[in-house]
């Protein structure tokens, strides 16, 4: 796989998983509303995919080492990956109770991060446990912070 596409895929997947999980957990803890969580997922899938792909584009343009083709490959790969993976989190919300959907989405997100980081570690010949555990720790911190943020918002404005 081309480096430019691999960059967009890894960035889009990681960002899509962590951002969407934070949003789901925060909205659920603030509102306990399936409609709000679904609306949030769809909104962030589109808005954040556009934002991150533009950010990837500008970031790579600022580095003189990338060709225009590589820049566009990374941009498009970031957008498609982020959009599609963020939208996969809708499925559990549609078919399960909201509580079970949130738990399922967390497990799904962690599985995606484990697979991606395992592949990265193997390609780079580094210890997969170190890479996976550090990135799952960050995802877990995002989930914990957004859970309590949602609870705080519910208390302050509910």
Look at the alpha carbons of 136, 22, 87, 7 in this order and tell me if their dihedral is positive or negative: negative
Residue 24 burial (CB count, 10 A) = 28
Residue boundaries of the structural domains of the chain? 3-157
How far, in Å, CA of 106 to CA of 109, rounded?
Answer: 5
How far, in Å, CA of 112 to CA of 106, rounded?
Answer: 10
Calculate the average pLDDT of the chain. Answer: 96
158 residues of the chain, pLDDT tens digit each: 898 899 999 999 999 999 999 999 999 999 999 999 999 999 999 999 999 999 999 999 998 888 999 999 999 999 999 999 999 999 999 999 999 999 999 999 999 999 999 999 999 999 999 999 999 999 999 999 999 999 999 999 98
> How many H-runs (helices) and E-runs (strands) does the chain carry?
6, 0
Give pTM, 2 decimals. Answer: 0.94
Q: By three-state DSSP, how is residue 139 classified?
A: helix
How far, in Å, CA of 139 to CA of 112, rounded?
Answer: 12
Alpha-carbon distances, residue 98 vs 35, 77, 123 (angstroms): 10, 31, 37
How far, in Å, CA of 10 to CA of 85, rounded?
Answer: 11
Look at the alpha carbons of 36, 39, 44, 45 in this order and tell me if their dihedral is positive or negative: positive
Contact (Cβ atoms closer than 8 angstroms) between residue 21 and residue 109? yes
């Amino acid at each position: 796989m081309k480096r430019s596409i691999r960059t967009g895929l890894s960035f889009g997947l990681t960002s899509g998983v962590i951002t969407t999980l934070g949003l789901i957990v925060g909205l659920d803890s603030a509102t306990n509303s399936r409609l709000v969580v679904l609306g949030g997922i769809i909104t962030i899938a589109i808005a954040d995919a556009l934002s991150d792909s533009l950010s990837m584009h500008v970031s790579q343009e600022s580095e003189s080492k990338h060709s225009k083709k590589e820049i566009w490959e990374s941009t498009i790969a970031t957008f498609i990956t982020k959009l599609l993976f963020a939208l996969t989190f809708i499925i559990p919300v549609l078919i399960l109770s909201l509580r079970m959907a949130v738990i399922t989405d967390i497990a799904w997100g962690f599985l995606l991060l484990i697979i991606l980081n395992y592949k990265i570690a193997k390609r780079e010949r580094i210890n997969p446990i170190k890479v996976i555990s550090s990135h799952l720790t960050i995802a877990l911190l995002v989930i914990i912070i957004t859970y309590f943020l949602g609870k705080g918002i519910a208390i302050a404005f509910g």
